[in-house]
């Protein structure tokens, strides 16, 4: 009897694990989804209001304007005295690249981009998107997500829907975290408690051909922090053309 019970428990456990490890499928919407990027730093005294604004965007407005927000923390203010633990030189390089693409020379924080283009009046830009007629998507993102205790695996495929895209596009996959509380002990924000949302924790990128049917796998090793989700975005001609958010 005990042997039968043990076998039954093993079978139930195996079935449960198989169900938990089964892939979950996601795909982008038929209308274009826009990517909103904020470049920020815990060492910048001008950044807390921008981060507060980002955290307070109503879900209804995000839905109407079809935007997905992300906050990229940069390292170039670390020299002031406070090292931002969420910052990465990879994000510095992305910001500089987008500025150079527009003919600019200077990066700064806080700085907003929508679909890789600088936005100085971010409230007006979001309101304009919300009022505008939604555009059809030029590309479909399909993702199969498998999650275990240690790993997060994402298998991606793309399907071109409209002409005009590069033959080879860049795919970016970012994990992000919400509800972060950080006590700043030095620098311009010394003594403040910062609250962060949509903070990019890891970013992986790869090139994918649209001429050849292919998939691409991205693997992330889970960290002690709790990821809120994954954002996948595709770039063609140095501009974000589609984005997909996957909650975790």
Q: Which helix (H) or strand (E) holds 77?
A: none
| CB contact at 8 A, 197 and 51 | yes
Q: 158-165: long-range contacts (C-beta < 8 A, 24 or more apart)?
A: 158/208, 158/210, 158/234, 160/210, 161/136, 161/137, 162/136, 162/137, 162/138, 164/138, 165/138, 165/139, 165/210, 165/236, 165/237, 165/241
Q: Residue 14: is its pLDDT beyond 60?
A: no
pLDDT digits (tens, 9 = 90+) for 73-87: 999 999 999 999 999
pLDDT digits (tens, 9 = 90+) for 99-116: 999 999 999 999 999 999
- pTM here is 0.90
Q: Which 8-state DSSP code applies to residue 31?
A: B
Q: Tell me if residue 34 falls in helix, strand or coil.
A: strand
Tokens of 76: 């170039």
What domains lie within the chain, and their CATH numbers?
A: 22-247 (2.60.40.150)
Residue at token pair 């527009």 = 102
Q: Name the more confident of 7 and 177.
A: 177
Q: Residue 18: is its pLDDT beyond 80?
A: no
């Amino acid at each position: 009897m005990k042997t039968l019970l043990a076998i039954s428990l093993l079978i139930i456990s195996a079935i449960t694990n198989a169900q938990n490890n089964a892939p979950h499928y996601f795909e982008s919407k038929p209308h274009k989804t826009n990517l909103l990027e904020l470049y920020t730093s815990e060492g910048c005294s001008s950044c807390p209001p921008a981060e507060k604004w980002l955290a307070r965007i109503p879900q209804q407005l995000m839905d109407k304007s079809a935007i997905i927000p992300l906050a990229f923390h940069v390292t170039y203010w670390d020299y002031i005295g406070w090292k931002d633990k969420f910052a990465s030189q990879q994000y510095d390089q992305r910001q500089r690249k987008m500025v150079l693409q527009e003919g600019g020379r200077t990066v700064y924080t806080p700085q907003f981009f929508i679909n890789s283009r600088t936005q100085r009046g971010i409230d007006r830009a979001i309101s304009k998107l919300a009022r505008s007629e939604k555009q059809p998507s030029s590309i479909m993102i399909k993702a199969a997500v498998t999650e275990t205790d240690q790993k997060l695996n994402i298998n991606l495929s793309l399907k071109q829907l409209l002409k005009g895209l590069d033959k080879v596009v860049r795919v970016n996959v970012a994990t992000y975290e919400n509800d972060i509380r950080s006590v700043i002990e030095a620098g311009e924000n010394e003594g403040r408690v910062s609250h962060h949302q949509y903070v990019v924790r890891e970013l992986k990128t790869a090139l994918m051909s649209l001429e050849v049917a292919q998939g691409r796998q991205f693997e992330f090793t889970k960290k002690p922090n709790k990821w809120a989700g994954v954002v996948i975005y595709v770039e063609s001609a140095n501009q974000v053309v589609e984005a997909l958010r996957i909650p975790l």
